[in-house]
Chains A and B, each alone.
Chain A
Amino acid sequence: MGQRDILPLETSMKRKRGLHTASMCRLDLDPAVTVLKKEVEPGEEDALSSSRYMLGRGVKRKLSDCEDPVLGLPYPQQRQLVLDLCLDKLQSCQRRAEPSLHRSVLLANTLRQIQQEMRLEGGNCLPPAPPAPTLLHASTPRHIPELPPVSLDCPPHLSGSLSPSNSLATSEDGEAQLDCAESKPLYSSLSDEVDERPSDSLFGSFEITNSTSYLTDLALDDIFEDIDTSMYDSSDISVLAYPAPRGNGVASGIGDEGLKNFSSCTSNTLQLCLSDLSDLDHIMEILVRS
């Protein structure tokens, strides 16, 4: 490699786009932004007080220049930091217009891994008692989960204190300490308190929808349930929904299991057919009349 000289090609192409004037993205965290607002129990020093990542009074650790400041924290606090970040990111991921399934899966796995670790550690100290009601109300709005329960393998001795569905509800503020002296469970089960979400609501909202593929999300059976379609040859009707058999490798046309393969209809025709709900009504009328 040392023997090769590399220089710009004589002509270079440039895309004319406004240059971002985004603030420089550096490793240093903006001290003005406290990502984590933690309520700590009285008498306890907030590990993330104004001087970032400094421990409590007088306990300072000299870090080498290139280490992450967080590495100066004791392990449980590092873990808590990552856990909180994870939840923040998962929630903001859900709120995006085009959420990334890849990112959400990675975050959920990280979260699960940390939770399992915490459970196993805290599990030895927990009495099999149901969570105190006060815990449920102690959560900050930020911690009220928008996330559905994630099934985890639950150690048997915890099953009394945690709901079987092991909600993704986070640790309560102030419950971050992993002292075995803690008598309350780390994660109260909020699944009784929140609506049961459809099972794939965490990852189920990622399917891309637009006006041409919205049909995959509608309950097509409901729309057509009063229409007797048995007399119609399925290959002539391109808008009816058939559950495509999985794994048969045959041309599956539209992405999800909702729509049947149509050999007679190009994607353009489908777009024309299905661009509006009013078109759908129109189609229904035609089907009923004919």
Chain B
Amino acid sequence: MAAMSLLLRAAAAWGARRAAGGSRPPWLAGAARLPGTVGRASGAGVRGRAKKRNTLVQFSAPVRHSSSHGKKMFIIKATSFYDTRFLNLLRFYVFLTGIPVALFITYVNIFIGEAELAEIPEGYIPEYWEYYKHPISRWIARYLLDSPEKTYEKEMALIDVEAKKTELRLMELEARRLMRHRGDGPWYHYETPDKNLVDNSMKSTPDN
């Protein structure tokens, strides 16, 4: 059984080989790959033969020759769908805000321009944002950030509060130590029972 099917399969393969390549003389076998040489005749002949035997499907459509590109090849390579999709999305989302920001910064640099360095005029105290050169830095310093004098004073206030706290804590520890040691202060008073409640009967006789 298996041998019979093997034989049939071998016969079909031999037949297919004969149908595909038999019509061509062997010295033209290489030329069959070029378009327009031996294609049509072998295609029509093979299709005719395939009708008579139904063992193998022949892919025998005539080769369509486009004018300049040559035979179309189906190149098998790994998919680049995900890569191109990622790069397209990346480009889109980066440029979505990147291009308006770049245009805005170009506009500011060309039409507003950077500040010039000058000596501080007599009797004039510059505002804290006038110490920056670029107009966007000046704008940020003026409208978004606090003045450095304000932050300085805030830090100093914080340090002052913490310094007072440490001072008071140290003083409390010292007071507690002294009151515990000397016993003359309001702290470290412990409730003791009244001396009239003490039962002295056990201590009154020496022979117990």
Does A associate with B in a complex? no
A residues near B (Cβ < 8 Å) are none
